[in-house]
Amino acid sequence: MTTMPVEGFNPERDLTAPSLYSLNLSAAQHCTLAWVEDHGGLFDVIPVPVETVAEDCGNSVSTVHEALARLEALNLLVRTSAGLYRINARYYFTLHPELREMITAALTDPPVTPDDRARAPRKVSNTDARRRRTIRPVS
């Protein structure tokens, strides 16, 4: 897929990422990345208990430590100062190019600006005006 340069597009905000196949990830690294994704690491920062990941993926604890270190070095995983992890959003956009294109357009499209009609007070229909004037007894 080739992308056309967009006027005003900032390359620092480019949402593309290299293919996972070109990164030569091991099975343990794929499994660790999938574990983080399956446990909500795509949308929020999560703790990654190494022993649990090792048990779920069928790897040793040291293999999971090495996988986390490589995934963090590749910037596929982002580690916070509190030791929590989240998946780099660019990885998600490599899997969903249609969303990447939509977000790229959102970053480059002009902002929506209200006109005079939008700033005017809302018209009230006659029926709505009568409803507001009607005093209803409280029961």
The 8-class DSSP code of residue 85 comes to E
- pLDDT tops 90 at residue 133: no
| pLDDT band, very low/low/confident/very high, at 2 (cuts 50, 70, 90) | very low
Residue 139 burial by Cβ neighbours in a 10 Å radius (0-12, 13-18, 19+): exposed
Q: Using DSSP, how many helices (H) and how many strands (E) does the chain show?
A: 7, 2
Q: If you average pLDDT over each of 6-15, 81-90, 118-127, which comes out highest? A: 81-90
| pLDDT band, very low/low/confident/very high, at 107 (cuts 50, 70, 90) | confident
More confident residue, 83 or 122: 83
pLDDT digits (tens, 9 = 90+) for 22-73: 788 899 999 999 999 999 998 899 999 999 999 999 999 999 999 999 999 9
Q: What Cα–Cα distance (Å) separates residue 81 from each residue in 46, 85, 100?
A: 12, 9, 28
| pLDDT band, very low/low/confident/very high, at 3 (cuts 50, 70, 90) | very low
Query: Cα separation of 51 and 62, whole Å?
Result: 9
Q: Is the pTM of this model over 0.75?
A: no
The 8-class DSSP code of residue 43 comes to T
CB 97 within 8 A of CB 104: no
Query: Cα separation of 115 and 122, whole Å?
Result: 14
- The whole-number average pLDDT for the span 123-136 is 69
pLDDT digits (tens, 9 = 90+) for 74-95: 988 999 999 899 998 877 777 7
